[in-house]
Structure 1
Amino acid sequence: MNPTYHFGLLFLRVTFSAMMLTHGIPKLMNLVQGNLDFGDPLGIGSTVSLILTVIGEVICPLLLIIGFRVRLSAIPSIIVMGVAAFVVHGNDPLARKELALLYLFAFVAIALLGAGRYSVSRR
């Protein structure tokens, strides 16, 4: 397959995951510092919601950047962005939920397309 295609998959994985880290790392810092004040959109508890969000916004994007089990690693990020778009911002106008939707669509594309040649899993 065309090397440009594989570079495109790498570019998609790295750029969206790196941008997701800008949202997740502050949440990780709150978790590490014991600041567990976080929303509870699914009614499972704010601490559990924060931990799951950190997994979807930090741990899985890091796995996506290196290309480790990409299709599986994209699932938590898809779920977190789905909850952000349709539950947290469900009643908001499109402009407010647009960013979550963009991340959601990108992570769905990554899950469907896979890692490509330039990934740890491919080695």
Structure 2
Amino acid sequence: MLRKILSPESTNHFSSDLLYTGARVFVGMTMALAHGFGKLPPPEMMVGSLEGMGFPAPGLMAWCAAIAEVIGGIFLAVGFLTRPAAFFIGFTMLIAGFVIHAADPFQTKELALLYLAISLVFVAKGPGKYSVDAFLFKRK
């Protein structure tokens, strides 16, 4: 029993597929609900902050960040266009972690960096077995 639990080759595909799906849904929905919807429409403070940092077209950039978080989060949650959605979330979190919060303490940028790391996993691994992508693009 212990050998089965500790062996890297031994996996229960149903449970690992289910856990992966749960993680994808949780990450996508928290990104959309807890982070993205609060930025629609982008608050003037956000636009002003981006303008103060020298971003070109700060209004457009604010909208892009909000849309990446809301639409990308929803797409990630349902597993639709998972890799592009995860890429745009990851790119947004890259900018948040290393540009927007560059001078902040680690505790402030930690969440953005965590979302970046998780997004890279979904970019690399894809949507998983239980997703809209798997249904639409299944190979015969």
**What TM bracket, shorter-length normalisation?**
0.7 to 0.9
Identity of aligned residues (%): 30
Amino acid at match of 1:119: S
CA distance in 2, matches of 1:9, 1:26: 27
Task: Determine the C-alpha separation between the residues in 1 that align with 2:37 and 2:103.
Answer: 26
Q: Which runs of 4+ in 1 moved over 3 A?
A: none
Q: Aligned pair in 2 of structure 1 residues 12, 42: CA closer, same or farther (>3 Å)? A: farther
Give the length in aligned residue pairs. Answer: 119
Q: Structure 2 counterpart of 1:75, which letter?
A: F
2:131 to 101, 119, 123: 119
Structure 2 CA distance for aligned equivalents of residues 94 and 76 of structure 1: 22
Q: Which of 1 and 2 has higher RCO (CA within 8 Å, sep 6+)? A: 1
How many angstroms apart in 1 are the aligned matches of 2:77 and 2:54? Answer: 28
Alpha-carbon offset, residue 10 of structure 1: 0.9
Q: 1:20 aligns with which of 16, 28, 31?
A: 31
The aligned runs of 1:1-123 (5 Å cut-off) are 2-21=13-32, 22-28=34-40, 30-31=41-42, 35-37=43-45, 38=47, 39-40=49-50, 41=53, 43-123=55-135
Q: Which has the larger radius of gyration?
A: 2
2:71 is aligned with what amino acid?
A: I
Give, in whole Å, the separation in 1 of the partners of 2:13 and 2:54.
43
2:79–2:132 contact (8 Å) kept in structure 1 = yes
TM-score (norm 2): 0.78
In structure 2, list runs of 5 or more residues that go unmatched.
1-11, 136-140
TM-score normalised per structure 1: 0.87
Q: Secondary structure at the match of 1:122?
A: helix
Question: What is the CA-CA distance between 1:93 and the residue it aligns to?
Answer: 1.5
> In structure 1, how many angstroms separate the alpha carbons of the residues matched to 2:124 and 2:107?
26
CA distance in 2: counterparts of 1:60 and 1:23, whole angstroms: 11
Listed as ranges, the gaps of 5+ residues in structure 1 are: none
- Change beyond 3 A, Cα 1:106–1:20: same
2:30·2:73 contact (CA, 8 Å) conserved in 1? Answer: no
